[in-house]
Each structure stands twice: as structure tokens, then as C-alpha cells.
A and B are shown apart, each in its own frame.
Chain A
Amino acid sequence: EAGVVQSPRYKIIEKKQPVAFWCNPISGHNTLYWYRQNLGQGPELLIRYENEEAVDDSQLPKDRFSAERLKGVDSTLKIQPAELGDSAVYLCASSPGTSGTVDTQYFGPGTRLTVL
């Protein structure tokens, strides 16, 4: 079974430039998460999707971040414009999302973003 796929693995941009990250979750997983992880920290949830619906985006800085999950499968996270403080690893995770059960999350390798 293929795991969660993310691209690119690394991205270096100058501040004020736009950047986009792509995620392909495990086939059949209804729930998709985007996290940001800074060095020495745990993952911080940015947005959670149930199928194509964003059910929790309370931590997403909406002035510059946007996300979409078309057809409830792949997802894209965008930052425009990027700031120096956005340098971090952006992790995508998915889970089966079966109603009423406890989910464990399956993570991709992450995209390491460096903003210069």
C-alpha cells in the first residue's frame, strides 16, 4: 500500500514569493490534515478536511494561507506571500476517518520550506 505522498520535498524561496505544497493521501482515507512543524516542536494543525469539507481551519492564517481538497482526494496548501517566519516543515497526514472510531494518522515525509 502506498503511503502519503508529498511534493516537493524541499523548497527555497525568497520572502513575498508564493509557494504551494501538494499532498496525495492514502487511498480511501477520508480525513486529511495539514500540519506545520518547527524544529524541536510537535506538529501544529493548520487545517483538517473530512472528504472535501474543511472542518477545522481555526489555526490557518487565512490572510496568507489557503488550502483546497478537490474531489476529496489530493490537497494543495498555498502560502502567498511567504514570510520569513513561515520557514518550517509542512506535513500532510491522512486517516481512514471512519465515523465513531478513533483514528491514527499516517504522515507523509513533509516539505521543508526555507524562506530567505
Chain B
Amino acid sequence: SQKIEQNSEALNIQEGKTATLTCNYTNYSPAYLQWYRQDPGRGPVFLLLIRENEKEKRKERLKVTFDTTLKQSLFHITASQPADSATYLCALDAGNNRKLIWGLGTSLAVNP
């Protein structure tokens, strides 16, 4: 069956460092992948989308890579700040344009 895995343990890093979060999937060939941020008590907020034919996407301090051979996406936050502390969710398309399969999320804490 289809499976999505994100770092199960919380990630703690020092302010200014680069945070790298991983999203792996199996039994699946998504056409695109999305990353969302979720703060406590709030719904997820869209950050970036990357398609299967794109290797890398950037937005300000955020970078996403998509390796369809490894079946993996990496999400990087450079020059991290305490305000980046949140849970980050990856979501993959389920074969049509409007249904997503969600990972469990990875909790990131950026320490000042």
C-alpha cells in the first residue's frame, strides 16, 4: 500500500543553521508534492509545490528538492529563525489534481 514517511522525531537546531526535513514515499509515483507548515491550534498553510519533472524549487529561505528515483523530497530552511518553529507536513497527490495524501509531519524547533 502507499506509504509516506517523515522524520518521526522532532528536529532541534540552533538559530542560523539550515534545517533539513525529509519526506519519503513508497509504492507511489506522485506527479507533484507539496509542503505545508502547521502551527499549534491552526490549520496547515501552504509553502511550496514541486512537480515530478522539477528537481528543485526555491522561495526566499525555503528550498525543496524532489528525487523520483530515491522517492524522496527534502525541505530546507536556510538561516533558520525561532519563528520557523512549527510542524512541517508533506503531501503527495493521489492521482487526481485535488486529493492529497498527507505525511505525519515533522516538528521543528529552532533555538535562539
Q: Among the listed stretches B14-22, B40-48, B78-86, which one makes contact with chain A, having 4 or more residues with CB under 8 Å of it?
A: B40-48
A interface secondary structure, majority: loop
Q: Is the CB of A107 within 8 A of B44?
A: yes
Q: How far is the CA of A4 from the CA of B43 in the complex (A)?
A: 10
Q: Is the CB of A104 within 8 A of B34?
A: yes
When distances are taken between beta carbons in the complex, the residues of chain A under 8 Å from B42 are 107, 109-110
Q: Is the CB of B43 within 8 A of A107?
A: yes
When distances are taken between beta carbons in the complex, the residues of chain B under 8 Å from A42 are 4, 89, 91, 102-105
Q: Among the listed stretches B59-67, B68-76, B93-101, which one makes contact with chain A, having 4 or more residues with CB under 8 Å of it?
A: B93-101
Q: How far is the CA of A40 from the CA of B45 in the complex (A)?
A: 17
Q: Is the CB of A97 within 8 A of B98?
A: yes
Interface size, B (range) = 20 to 34
Q: How far is the CA of A100 from the CA of B51 in the complex (A)?
A: 14
Interface size, A (range) = 20 to 34
When distances are taken between beta carbons in the complex, the residues of chain B under 8 Å from A95 are 98
When distances are taken between beta carbons in the complex, the residues of chain B under 8 Å from A48 are 98-99
Who on chain B is nearest to A93 by CB? B43
Interface residues of B (CB under 8 A from A): 4, 31-32, 34, 41-46, 49, 51, 89, 91, 93, 97-100, 102-105
Interface residues of A (CB under 8 A from B): 4, 31, 40-45, 48, 50, 56, 91, 93, 95, 97, 100-110, 112
